[in-house]
Structure 1
Amino acid sequence: LKLEALRKYQILGEGNFGQVWLVTESESSSTPYALKIQAKFELIEGGQADTVLREKEIMSQVRHPFISNLVKTHQDTDFLYMLLDYAQGGELFNAIHADDHDGLPEENCQFYACVIAEALAYMHRRFIAFRDLKPENVVIDKSGYPVLIDFGYAKYIPEKSFTLCGTPNYLSPEMITSRGHSCSVDHWALGVITYEALTGLNPFFEEGMDQTTLYKSIVQDHYPYPDEASAIAADFIEKLLIKDPNQRLGSLAGGEDDLFAHEWLERFDLERLRKRELVAPWVPECRDALDTSNFADWSD
């Protein structure tokens, strides 16, 4: 990766350990990429050095149309660099929680759930759990297809892991109680983000709730019925948000196939979906290849 040749345009995102920039590989190239820059000192201080190494290792192994493609990596004395494909539609979070609405039409939610489930199924066949599925870690590409990003918590789990990790609002009961978890934590999170996409609300978190109360709610409580959803959509969510991971949709005898056989997703032709032959319900409007209008403004 020739850093000196890259042209930076705008910050796409910012986190505890660095930034993501929209770049092209040279002044003359119009092919956009997302450049993730992380400070080594901050990573080491934050105990995240192993996390970023595992992210690079896993992203180097996976190749799927709905998983962000790691193009190149580089490091110098102070920083780590990951060059990734640029998804122009912005974060799924911004699509769900827009200025003029909270929640999306059910048709959109169905499509996003099916595409994300297909990406997860690919990973789970390789015993890789994503472990941080949330709307901020899903971006929409220029065709309107969701793509998974940020593999910092992804892990090869042939049997069980006991590490508490991820984002509190999307954690599964078995991760919170440290009973040991497997890939089914991703199915729980799929249920949470599907509920959020349909209603604009998190099924377990309420404004002002502290983390202990949130965890208690996830482990013990039943969520409010999603009135905005059809009965079939509500059933899909209910089968994913089952407290016992062994009884959860995707972890039964039929495995991941059960997700796609469910009445809410069964209409999708998976072969055509993987080839991006199905028209997405929302395709981002972009002026050109470098348009960033679907991302939050980080210029301040």
Structure 2
Amino acid sequence: KIYAMKTLNKLYILRCKELSFYMQERNVLKLSEHSTWFPKLLTSFQDSQNLYFVMEFAGGGDLLNLLGRQDNLVLTEEETRFYMAEIILAVNDLHKFGYTHRDIKPQNILIDNDGHIKLADFGSCIKLNNDGLVNSRVPVGTSDYISPEVLQAQEGKTQYGAECDWWSVGILMYELLQGDPPFYSDFTATTYAQIMNSDVTRDLIEKYFKLIKLCDREKRIGLNGVEEIQNHPFFNGIDWNNIRSIKPPFLPQLKSPEDTQYFEEYEN
């Protein structure tokens, strides 16, 4: 049987003071047995140089790879509805376990052999306090998807909680429908400035606006519970309790258990 293995260099972790990130990732992966939306952790081990996570293999690649195979680099409304519904359930599971992800993006949405999603890469996760907030001044995340409150937290101007993930989910939905994240720029500083100074979803179709609404955390859909998102008209007809029985838009055509055609190959 084929598995996926994540390798983490010990020296790099210590130099970058990222041991706490490793510990959080391991803790979340241990919860995978309680959620269908996370890759199952089979085992973890170490040698003199590296730490290793051995997980189930998702043969369908990731959402970014799927987007890249589309002629116009976007998904249809029906395809977007399916993937967003599953992503919402996955993110909500993580929140119920008491964590926020902080790095939701297409690369971290895997597609399993059956065409359903798995939320991956928990290296940026952080445990929520009893008040639902986190103690962090580190601007964790990927520039195009990071929320304004996470950026502000590094200056001690605000705190944030799980709602930062709903911002990223909104960015992701925009990208699936439009082809690019709404604040994309070739320069990170420009992207951050646009995130901090804009609550406009540009030319987004009006019927999606309230769902993707990129705004202050106090006004954000999902702040008062996942039901706010699930009840949006965009998701009418979704059977939230049985979504894994729905035929997915894309079913991986794997030629063998070792088939990695849906993944990009990288050289070390």
TM-score by length of 2: 0.91
Residue 98 of structure 1 deviates from its aligned partner by 3.0
Name the aligned partner's letter for residue 156 of structure 1: K
Please tell me whether the aligned partners of residues 91 and 295 of structure 1 are also in contact (alpha carbons under 8 angstroms): yes
Identity within the alignment, %: 26
Give the counterpart of 2:196 among 199, 219, 229.
Answer: 219
Superposition pairs for residues 156-167 of structure 1, below 5 Å?
A: 156-158=127-129, 159-161=132-134, 162-163=136-137, 164-167=139-142
Give the counterpart of 2:217 among 245, 248, 254.
Answer: 245
Superposition pairs for residues 192-203 of structure 1, below 5 Å?
A: 192-203=171-182
Name the aligned partner's letter for residue 171 of structure 1: I
Please tell me whether the aligned partners of residues 97 and 200 of structure 1 are also in contact (alpha carbons under 8 angstroms): no
Residues 45-64 of structure 1: per-residue CA shift (max 9 Å, x gap): 22222211221012113421
Residues 52-111 of structure 1: per-residue CA shift (max 9 Å, x gap): 122101211342111111111001111111001111111111111237431111211111
Q: What's the secondary structure of 1:197's corresponding residue?
A: helix
Q: What's the secondary structure of 1:195's corresponding residue?
A: helix
Superposition pairs for residues 238-277 of structure 1, below 5 Å?
A: 238=213, 241-242=214-215, 244-252=216-224, 255-273=225-243, 276-277=244-245
Bigger strand fraction: 1
Cα RMSD (Å) of the superposition?
1.6
Task: Name the counterpart of 2:4.
Answer: 34
Residue 181 of structure 1 deviates from its aligned partner by 1.0
Give the distance between the partners of 1:46 and 1:60, measured in 2 at CA: 24
Give the counterpart of 1:72 among 35, 43, 51.
Answer: 43
Give the distance between the partners of 2:78 and 2:30, measured in 1 at CA: 33
Greater CA drift, 165-174 or 52-61: 52-61
Give the distance between the partners of 1:57 and 1:218, measured in 2 at CA: 31
Superposition pairs for residues 88-103 of structure 1, below 5 Å?
A: 88-98=59-69, 100-103=71-74
Task: Name the counterpart of 2:97.
Answer: 126
Please tell me whether the aligned partners of residues 90 and 140 of structure 1 are also in contact (alpha carbons under 8 angstroms): yes
Please tell me whether the aligned partners of residues 39 and 120 of structure 2 are also in contact (alpha carbons under 8 angstroms): yes
Residues 145-173 of structure 1: per-residue CA shift (max 9 Å, x gap): 11111100111113322332111111111
Please tell me whether the aligned partners of residues 40 and 80 of structure 1 are also in contact (alpha carbons under 8 angstroms): yes
Give the distance between the partners of 2:30 and 2:189, measured in 1 at CA: 36
Please tell me whether the aligned partners of residues 201 and 209 of structure 2 are also in contact (alpha carbons under 8 angstroms): no
Q: What's the secondary structure of 2:85's corresponding residue?
A: helix
Name the aligned partner's letter for residue 87 of structure 1: A
TM-score by length of 1: 0.81
Give the counterpart of 2:21 among 9, 30, 51.
Answer: 51
Give the counterpart of 2:208 among 233, 244, 255.
Answer: 233
**Which structure 1 residue ranges, 5 or more long, are not aligned?**
1-30
Give the distance between the partners of 2:267 and 2:145, measured in 1 at CA: 29
Task: Name the counterpart of 1:6.
Answer: none
Please tell me whether the aligned partners of residues 41 and 78 of structure 1 are also in contact (alpha carbons under 8 angstroms): yes
Aligned residue pairs, count: 258
Give the distance between the partners of 1:130 and 1:88, measured in 2 at CA: 23
Q: What's the secondary structure of 1:177's corresponding residue?
A: helix
Please tell me whether the aligned partners of residues 204 and 223 of structure 1 are also in contact (alpha carbons under 8 angstroms): no
Give the counterpart of 2:167 among 181, 188, 197.
Answer: 188
Name the aligned partner's letter for residue 52 of structure 1: Y
Task: Name the counterpart of 1:204.
Answer: 183
Query: Is residue 2:263 matched to residue 1:291?
Result: no
Give the distance between the partners of 2:48 and 2:182, measured in 1 at CA: 44
Name the aligned partner's letter for residue 10 of structure 2: K
